[in-house]
């Protein structure tokens, strides 16, 4: 079973009892930066679960117990690390007793696989640091020899070390002892060589003489020279002064802890074998959005739209045309508004009933402290003689933020989507719920006077998701607007939507900056990180609902990265996201989300999951308009259970709608675009037959049933 790096990262955070930043990278060994609190874990794809937990637990031990101080320079790092490893693993097992079994089983597996490289080693010949390293890690499975009082003292110091200061003292003593042992061994080898005994490499003195001929002594003690060397002067190496000769200790090789190095080499093969060419993961973050520039203000939008249509009216007047180009659109608006009042009233009734039921469910009964005279005669057998009062708590006040898809693919369903939105807006006005409506677009500055000097929407940061400066959120409607102004705004947007959906049947244009664009839904979700808390604070509401009305998936995003040009100047550029190797990281929550991409919309799911984790007290509702051919893809994307998907298909067949509750939304409504577009008025000709009347009545009921079903589920969610 493959290791889930995200789960292991969460394990590290839980063990560390803090929001560590955990990064899984293709590095050789695990490491913890005590300054930035970043724990870097190799991608140990070939490690077993218990070994992975052991390695994670070890690194968390450093995070918890290794202080952020500079280590002594006179003690080799490996010696200090061996001593510190013994201490932090002891403290981890003390803090989490369950880890003792993990460490035991993990080191047993590592020892069986000879991760320390001691399979053919004579352990008694290893230096003290190697033997100490083995003793505290695999001492349960291998007999580690120690001899002498000094080694016993060092072992006892390491066993009893509780602080980092204790570790430094023990490591220093261990290093000095290892160094003295090395010096003694080299001096012994030098003496053996001079006495003609075997050298350190196993060569006899005679073998050395055969390779390096020595000058012979005569009986008179005079030095004789061979014919080959007569008349030649000694080289500088043969003429060293006694005072310049190096001592054996100074000539000694540096002390290494071979078992630690062998372990590092072996764990490197766990993370990325020599035959693997995987890409290093990229950790991306939510950018800092500037709401002052990313939001096109409500007043600014309608000043522009009114000016556009005023110029259009002047042009018609100048051409001598006197007809009303908005007549058809306005008639449809009046007709829709009249019919919608019944549905809005139904929605208000459902909402009030749900709120009342919720309030009564939380009702309590309290004693008043006043005697109930009607119960005085029961004093002999009744202890409760006081009057009581029922307390019904007030319900929570609500607020709604709507996001409207203003993309080109909405052209055929924009009016039907607007109808759903207007029903909800009128509902909010009836029950005094504050609201804001935003439409996302990439066109707002396309025809503006800014040119290329468009205000920045984000403060660029390396490895943050990139938002193009053309992106804007149009604040189409707000509860802060006066009733007269809101009605004018609703009417204006209706005209625009009607012109878009009936582009060949109208005689007026739409404002150029309000043209339909791409689908920057991902950028919008990022902006909600700032919009939602600001809306909640400004309107002083307790419960915020966010409703996203769309008909498709969002476009891809890029990320910001720094590059250096040929002149050495650093600047920001953008890079494409390789989703299988990318993670979204939220430093505030201390969580990461794998951006595993199986198709369009997966990045939106990740961003929404992060948003719901950041604001768990808020509800996120998706409303998706679907064609008949889209329903199967929609259901299959969010359900892989046959029973659930079958039930959803039955619901679609019966009601032309589905409610999916296993996506990143709290609930994701799928609605039939054709059913919503159908007329729900009961209109028949005077001479209509019984069959025609029956069909018209059934059609009217079906459309009303769909609307009421969706509205009822929506009310249950937000009340």
Nearest-5° Cα angle at 535, 431 to 341: 25
pLDDT of 452: 60
Task: Give the pLDDT score at 359.
Answer: 46
Tell me: pLDDT of 473 over 90.
yes
What average pLDDT score do residues 476-504 get?
93
pLDDT tens profile 203-245: 444 443 434 344 444 444 444 444 444 444 444 444 444 444 4
Q: Which long-range contacts (CB under 8 A, 24 or more apart) does 204-211 make?
A: none
Residue 707 above 60 pLDDT?
no
pLDDT confidence of 704, banded at 50, 70, 90? low
Q: How large a percentage of the chain has pLDDT more than 70?
A: 72
Rg (CA), the chain: 39
d(CA 711, CA 718): 11
121-130, 151-160, 675-684: range with lowest mean pLDDT? 675-684
What's CA 660's distance to the chain center, in Å?
23
Alpha carbons within 13 A on the beta-carbon side of 469 = 11
| Closest-CA residue to 507 (of 334, 331, 307, 329) | 329
Instruction: Taking residues 37-46, report their average pLDDT.
Output: 72
| Model pLDDT for residues 278-319, shown as the tens digit of each residue | 567 788 999 999 999 999 999 999 999 999 999 988 888 888
Cα-Cα-Cα-Cα dihedral sign, residues 511, 516, 519, 521: positive
Per-residue pLDDT at 19: 63
Distance CA 519, CA 427 (A): 27
Confidence (pLDDT) at 711? 62
More confident residue, 24 or 413: 413
pLDDT of 202 higher than 60: no
Average pLDDT, rounded, for the chain: 78
- Higher pLDDT: 446 or 548? It is 548
- The single-letter DSSP state of residue 556 is P
Residue range 126-144, pLDDT digits in tens: 999 999 999 999 999 999 9
Average of pLDDT values for 48-62? 85
Through-space distance between the first and last CA atoms of the chain, rounded to whole angstroms: 43
Q: How do 364-371 and 386-391 pair as beta strands? A: antiparallel
- Segment 364-399, tens digit of pLDDT: 555 556 666 776 667 666 667 666 554 434 445 788
Query: What is the pLDDT, as a whole number, of residue 474?
Result: 95
Distance, in Å, from the CA atom of 76 to the CA atom of 4, rounded to the nearest integer, reads 36
pTM of the model: 0.67
Return the bridge partners of 41, or none. Answer: 24
Distance between CA 142 and CA 135 in Å, rounded? 8
What is the 3 state secondary structure string of 137-149? HHCCCCCCCCCCH
Region 258-278 average pLDDT: 70
Percent of all residues in the chain with a pLDDT value above 90, rounded to a whole number? 29
At 588, list the tokens: 């505030």
Work out whether the CA dihedral 405, 606, 272, 16 comes out positive or negative.
Answer: positive
Indicate the range of 384-388, 443-447, 539-543, 587-591 predicted with least confidence: 384-388
Judged against a pLDDT cut of 60, whether residue 461 lies above it is answered with yes
- How large is the average pLDDT for residues 545-550? 90
Nearest CA-CA partner of 27 in 16, 38, 36: 38
């Amino acid at each position: 079973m493959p290791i889930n790096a995200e789960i292991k990262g969460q394990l590290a955070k839980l063990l560390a009892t803090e929001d560590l930043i955990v990064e899984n990278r293709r590095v050789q060994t695990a490491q913890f930066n005590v300054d930035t609190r970043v724990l870097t874990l190799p991608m140990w794809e070939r490690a077993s679960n218990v070994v992975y937990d052991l390695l994670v637990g070890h690194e968390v031990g450093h995070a918890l117990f290794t202080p952020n101080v500079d280590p002594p320079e006179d003690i080799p790092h490996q010696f200090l690390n061996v001593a510190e490893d013994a201490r932090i693993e002891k403290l981890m097992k003390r803090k989490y007793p369950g880890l003792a079994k993990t460490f035991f089983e993990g080191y047993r597996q590592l020892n069986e696989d000879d991760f320390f490289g001691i399979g053919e080693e004579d352990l008694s010949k290893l230096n003290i640091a190697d033997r100490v390293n083995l003793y505290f890690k695999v001492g349960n499975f291998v007999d580690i020899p120690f001899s002498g009082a000094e080694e016993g003292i060092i072992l006892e110091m390491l066993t009893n070390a509780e602080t980092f200061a204790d570790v430094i003292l023990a490591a220093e003593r261990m290093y000095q002892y290892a160094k003295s042992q090395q010096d003694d061994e080299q001096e012994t080898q030098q003496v053996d060589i001079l006495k003609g005994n075997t050298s350190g490499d196993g060569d006899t003195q005679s073998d050395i003489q055969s390779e390096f001929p020595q000058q012979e002594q005569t009986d008179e003690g005079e030095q004789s020279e061979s014919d080959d060397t007569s008349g030649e002067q000694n080289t500088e190496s043969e003429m060293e002064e006694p005072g310049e000769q190096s001592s054996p200790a100074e000539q000694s090789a540096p002390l290494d802890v071979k078992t630690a190095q062998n372990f590092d080499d072996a764990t490197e093969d766990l993370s990325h074998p020599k035959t693997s060419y995987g890409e290093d993961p990229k950790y991306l973050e939510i950018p800092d959005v500037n709401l002052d520039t990313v939001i096109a203000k409500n007043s600014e939008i309608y000043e522009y739209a009114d000016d556009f249509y005023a110029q259009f009216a002047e042009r018609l007047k100048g051409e001598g045309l006197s007809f009303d180009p908005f007549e058809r659109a306005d008639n449809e608006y009046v007709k829709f508004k009249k019919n919608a009042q019944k549905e809005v009233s139904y929605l208000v009734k459902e909402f009030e009933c749900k709120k009342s039921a919720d309030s009564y469910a939380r009702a309590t009964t309290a004693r008043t402290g006043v005697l109930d005279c009607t119960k005085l005669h029961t004093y002999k057998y009744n202890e409760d003689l006081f009057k009581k009062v029922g307390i019904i708590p007030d319900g929570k006040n609500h607020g709604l933020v709507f996001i409207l898809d203003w993309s080109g693919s909405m052209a055929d369903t924009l009016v039907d989507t607007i109808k759903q939105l207007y029903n909800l807006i009128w509902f909010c006005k009836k029950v005094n719920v504050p609201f804001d409506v935003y439409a996302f677009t990439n066109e707002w500055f396309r025809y503006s006077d800014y040119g290329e000097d468009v205000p920045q929407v984000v403060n660029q940061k390396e490895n943050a998701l990139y938002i193009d400066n053309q992106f804007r959120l149009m604040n189409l409607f707000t509860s802060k607007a006066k009733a007269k102004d809101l009605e004018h705004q609703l009417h204006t947007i209706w005209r625009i939507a009607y012109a878009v959906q009936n582009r060949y049947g109208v005689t007026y244009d739409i404002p150029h900056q309000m043209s339909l664009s791409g689908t920057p839904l991902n950028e919008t979700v990022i902006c909600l990180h700032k919009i939602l808390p600001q809306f909640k604070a400004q309107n002083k509401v307790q419960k915020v609902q966010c409703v996203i009305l769309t008909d498709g998936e969002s476009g891809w995003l890029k990320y910001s990265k720094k590059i250096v040009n040929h002149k050495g100047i650093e600047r920001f550029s953008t890079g494409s996201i390789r989703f299988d190797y990318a993670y979204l990281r939220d430093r505030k929550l201390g969580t990461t989300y794998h951006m595993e991409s199986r198709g369009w919309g997966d990045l939106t799911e990740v961003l929404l999951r992060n948003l719901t984790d950041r604001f768990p007290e808020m509800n996120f509702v998706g409303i998706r308009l679907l064609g008949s051919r889209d329903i199967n893809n929609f259901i299959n994307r969010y359900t892989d259970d046959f029973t659930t998907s079958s039930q959803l298909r039955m619901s679609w067949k019966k009601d032309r709608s589905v409610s999916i509750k296993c996506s990143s939304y709290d609930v994701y409504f799928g609605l039939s675009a054709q059913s919503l577009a159908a007329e729900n008025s009961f209109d028949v000709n005077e001479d209509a037959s019984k069959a025609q009347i029956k069909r018209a009545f059934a059609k009217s009921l079906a459309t009303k049933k769909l609307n009421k079903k969706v509205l009822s589920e929506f009310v249950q969610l937000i009340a």
